[in-house]
Amino acid sequence: MTVYSSNIGYPRIGEKREWKKALESFWEGTLEEKEFKEELDRLFLEGIRVQKEAGITHIPVGDFSLYDHVLDLLWTFDLVPDRFKNVNKTPLETYYSMARGTDGSEAMTMTKWFNTNYHYIVPEFENVTPSLKENRFLDYWKKAKQKLGVNGKVTLVGPATLVLLGKGYKETEKASWIQRLIPLYQQLLQQLDAEGVEWVSLEEPIFTSPLDQEVWKVIENGYAEIAKSCKNTKLLLQTYYEAVSDYKKVLSLPVDGFGLDFIHDKGETKEQLKKWGFPKGKVLAAGVIDGRNVWKANLTETSAEVKELLNLIDGDLWVQPSSSLLHVPVTAENESLPSFLEGALSFAKEKLGELKALESGIENNTSFKDYDKSFEAFVAAPLRHNHKVQEEIKELAQLKATRPPYELRAKKQQEKLKLPLLPTTTIGSMPQTKEVRRTRLKWRKKQITDAQYEQFIQEMTSRWIDIQEDLGLDVLVHGEFERTDMVEYFGEKLDGMEVTKFGWVQSYGSRCVKPPLIYGDVSLKEPMTVKESIYAQSLTNKPVKGMLTGPVTILNWSFPRHDESKEVVMNQIGLAIRQEVLALEDAGIAIIQIDEPALREGLPLREEEKEGYLKAAAYAFRLSAYGVKDETQIHTHMCYSNFNEIMNTIDDLDADVISIETSRSHGRLLQAFEDFHYEKEIGLGVYDIHSPQIPNEEDIISNIRASLRVLDEKQFWVNPDCGLKTRKEEEAIKSLQVLVKATKKYRASLIVEA
């Protein structure tokens, strides 16, 4: 038995987000296709080179992508919806049209990849005829082999996960669609096998969820057929994010190795292994380094666990991350952080070093005490602990954090706000132009003064208040021009949190975010948004929303501390946000939006754990708004979620108005409101801001009309489905013009009917 190092996936964005810049330049037409492909090839090979130089034995290829690894597989199997075919576009333009939409063709649905902040393109299986169209996985493998001499481990999403995360089929057709794709996987693997690929990893994170017997039968037969396709290539079945739901069934599949998560499994995987054993002679690819967080591993403890695993198997063991390193920043080498944090961090590149250290250290019986000292010093740092906050958390045991009945609040709010039927608003952010980003960078580099920067922010705010008034929106926003990101901004201002300089991770497409580090007890040190909100409200007689990010989203879009429960951290953040809410109310802000777009993505994968999380999340949100006056209207926003299964939680938030991203899945969400009687006010996004396409009036009216079939007109707000930060100014203005015009037209028709 031998220990080897392995990786599941590496960040594709580059150390300085070169990948993002290349994509956006190509989309804007400032980078030709030839140069664009050359730049992406360079970035792909750079990622392979870094892993090779780190000494990783099994380096993944196929994890790199032109946009999204699921979309790549859809393209490979020609699972291209009809609306993107027969158009005058190059193959690359068609590929991006699937993700971003095009004139007359709505983009494919995008949603969260399991319980992460990464978004994938949802497969559509309606009216498609799959075939092996193009083997990009083989192309990547050849490049790595020819340019760097790396016989990479080809990695791609497996058939069960691909189908079961898709849509466009009846519930009874799940198994048949898996069966239908098996021959395509066989063809693809035969091509890889013929070229000399040593290992192929089929990623099946769906195996962390329970599957019905009919589906399992097809999976078992399908994997038997797939295995026959490989004469020399070996197959690894890779799972992550949790322990597998049915250990015995998964480990009975005819493959050569199994990748299992030993970090986010709550100890269950090891117990399964002890109870049921492990197939003799097969590889255990053990996820023992956290692929989703940025703290250094305790290699003394990790090496002891690896040695224990070695005693439980009869075959080789690969040490690897618990999941793809796509979820963490590229490297900590370029950071300049407080000294107590510097020795505590391990990003993707550093995690490769940890894997290699384990591989060689276990073989040579090396001590890791020196490596672990820096993290032990971080754990003991006094700055991590705030006894006042800890006492406040203890006192919450007696607090339900509820407000008076909604009916009472709604009446007082309407008397104060006097909003029209079908009020129009936006979600919060307005376009962050190059000028905005450039000016912020100058300020950070101290090339302009604080006063000059504040004046610029006020000028942008004033300009967009005027634009919104001219458009005729009913409830305005200040635009958030002072904010880089809806979580990073608060991470800079809350004690117990720190923001990196280059700690970018991919969220969707070219969209990258910098999750803050939650290193200790969280508290509010000074008002964060009051000054900007007061200024914006002074410019207009219309209500301007105070804009905050909620405690659940701040937690889920940050890298959390390793030594405290999610519930405690959410409540700490909730208490801090509550102070800000009350300060905004005292300043005369009548509508306060506490955004929770990430509420559902923190949902555990296991059914039995969901209720506890949802109750804790709803409590933390209510805590953040606890104590406001009845006439203060509390809004929230949620996006990219399957809401049907959490309607009780949405109600339990007790927000006066909730806006929900739904433009790419409008019909499915409306079904949720048919099944659940929701009494509070709600805005269902009537157009997709993630597409550069300008919506048309008829589609918006159609979405409003469809919504009012299940919602009362007095409940309904009209808004885009998300913030407009990533859109160009012209796109945002034109889209909002259509939104307001369509709403006024429909509003007039309701008045006539009445």
Distance CA 343, CA 85 (A): 52
| Three-class DSSP labels, 20-66 | HHHHHHHHHCCCCHHHHHHHHHHHHHHHHHHHHHCCCCECEECCCCC
User: Torsion angle, CA of 95/128/126/134, rounded to 10 degrees?
Assistant: -40
Q: What is the DSSP letter of 662?
A: -
Residue 19 known to bind ligand: yes
Residue 637 known to bind ligand: yes
Residue 512 known to bind ligand: yes
Residue 335 known to bind ligand: no
Q: 112 near 84, Cβ under 8 Å? A: no
Q: What contacts 249, CB < 8 A, 6 or more positions away? A: 216, 220
CB atoms within 10 A of CB 49: 15
Distance CA 461, CA 474 (A): 17
Q: Please say if 666 is a catalytic residue.
A: no
Residue 523 known to bind ligand: no
Residue 595 known to bind ligand: yes
Q: What are phi and psi of 467, to 5 degrees?
A: -60, -45
Region of residue 480 (left: phi > 0; alpha: psi -120 to 50; beta: else): left
Angle (deg, nearest 10), helices 33-53 and 18-28: 170
Residue 167 known to bind ligand: no
Residue 652 known to bind ligand: yes
| Three-class DSSP labels, 396-461 | HHHCCCCCCCHHHHHHHHHHHHCCCCCCECCCCECCCCHHHHHHHHHHHCCCCCHHHHHHHHHHHH
Residue 20 known to bind ligand: yes
Distance CA 359, CA 377 (A): 25
Give me the sign of the Cα torsion angle 106, 112, 114, 118. positive
Closest CA to 295 of 375, 382, 238: 375
Residue 722 known to bind ligand: yes
Find the angle CA(656)-CA(662)-CA(663) to the nearest 5 degrees.
Answer: 130
Closest CA to 248 of 278, 209, 281: 278
Distance CA 474, CA 357 (A): 59
Residue 580 known to bind ligand: no
Q: What is the DSSP letter of 83?
A: G
CB atoms within 10 A of CB 724: 25
Q: 571 near 500, Cβ under 8 Å? A: no
Report strand pairing: 317-321 vs 505-508: unpaired
Closest CA to 713 of 741, 753, 675: 753
Residue 41 known to bind ligand: no
Residue 171 known to bind ligand: no
Instruction: List the catalytic residue out of 58, 478, 666, 690.
Output: 690
Residue 511 known to bind ligand: yes
Residue 509 known to bind ligand: no
Q: 510 near 539, Cβ under 8 Å? A: no
- Per DSSP, the residues of 685-727 read --S-TTSSSPP-HHHHHHHHHHHTTTS-TTTEEB--SS--TTS
Residue 113 known to bind ligand: no
Residue 639 known to bind ligand: yes
Residues forming the active site: 690
Residue list for the binding site for L-homocysteine: 427-429, 480, 595
* Bind-site residues: 17-20, 112, 117, 427-429, 480, 511-512, 557, 595, 601, 637, 639, 652, 661, 722
Q: Which residues are annotated as a binding site for Zn(2+)?
A: 637, 639, 652, 661, 722
**Binding site for 5-methyltetrahydropteroyltri-L-glutamate: which residues?**
17-20, 112, 117, 511-512, 557, 601
